[in-house]
Amino acid sequence: MELKGKKIIVTGSARGMGESTLRAYVRAGADVIGMDVTDDAGSKIVDEANTEGPGTAAYLHVDIADKDSVGKAFSEALSILGKLDALAHPAAIQRSSDAGNVSVEDWDQMFAINVRGTMLTNQAAHGYMKDSGGGSIINFGSISGLRSEPSAIAYSAAKGAVHSWTRTAAGTWGKDNIRVNAILPAMATPMYLEAMERADEEQRTASYWMNRRSIALGEEYGDPDTDLAPVMIFFASDASRFITGQLIPVDGGQTSVR
């Protein structure tokens, strides 16, 4: 599971699982470009990662929903890295809304960032990887895309689309030796903690029974540094060279035992 010399882009690197992934890749010896819309936090994290090494990190601004922004950021990243071995793509947003009340604005924003953003970043990565012998694309799905999600209909629908995209892209790009998988995590990150803060007591109780209750390993969301980062290293490394098109829950058993 060596990452020494690997050239990797991580989206959503300013916090949460993207931050943990970037730090872990640098610790494993990779050269990494972190990308996000939150520039101050994104820059601070690469500065800290560089002081730890042994790999290197740099930060670039991207709005993954915007084709020009993705094209520019990936082009700059490739001029720094020289080639691309892996794309880790956790960047996304989450908004609550039920089926009867979801607005067109929320629906469109969720699909622009979570679905179009996956298409644009994956397409950009494919363009560079296919000319250099292949690579690994690691998308982020969700248990929300596998089951009914009454309080987050647009997020759920968007993550279902990410799953379908991941499987089809894997089938299409296997001939280029590019593998495409999606991680389905359950991690205590700012996204999760903010959703819990917004929830009232009744919603928190419902969330416990729907989510935490079925995390077989301790009924608690995982830690991105200890529970997710090693898996992200595996999927960026050659150790995962024969795995593609998979939806991989890293969730303490939640998806399977619910």
Collapsing DSSP to helix, strand or coil, 93 comes out as coil
Residue 183 · residue 139 · CB < 8 Å? yes
- CA-based nearest residue to 86, from 246, 237, 240, 249: 237
Answer yes or no: 155 catalytic: yes
Query: Which of residues 43 and 132 has its CB atom nearest to ligand NAD in the complex?
Result: 43
Least distance from ligand NAD to the Cβ atom of residue 130, Å: 24
Give the residue with the Cβ less far from ligand NAD, 130 or 212: 212
Collapsing DSSP to helix, strand or coil, 2 comes out as: coil
For 129, the 3-state DSSP assignment is helix
Are 64 and 113 in contact, with CB atoms under 8 Å apart? yes
* Kind and range of the H or E run holding 208: helix 201-210
Nearer to ligand NAD, 55 or 222 (CB): 222
Of the two residues 69 and 132, which places its CB atom closer to ligand NAD in the complex? 69
Q: Are 11 and 32 in contact (CB under 8 A)?
A: no
Judged by beta carbon, residue 139 or residue 237, the one nearer ligand NAD is 139
> Is residue 151 classed as helix, strand or coil in its secondary structure?
coil
Which residues are CB-neighbours of 98 under 8 A, at least 6 positions away?
A: 150, 151, 153
- Note the residues at the interface with ligand NAD (CB under 6 A): 11-12, 14-18, 36-38, 62-65, 90-94, 113, 117, 140, 142, 185-187, 189-192, 221
> At closest approach, how far in Å is the CB of 5 from ligand NAD?
26
Contacts of 15 (CB under 8 A, 6+ apart): 36, 38, 41, 189, 190
Question: Which residue out of 25, 59, 128, 155 is catalytically annotated?
Answer: 155
Residue positions annotated with a catalytic role:
155
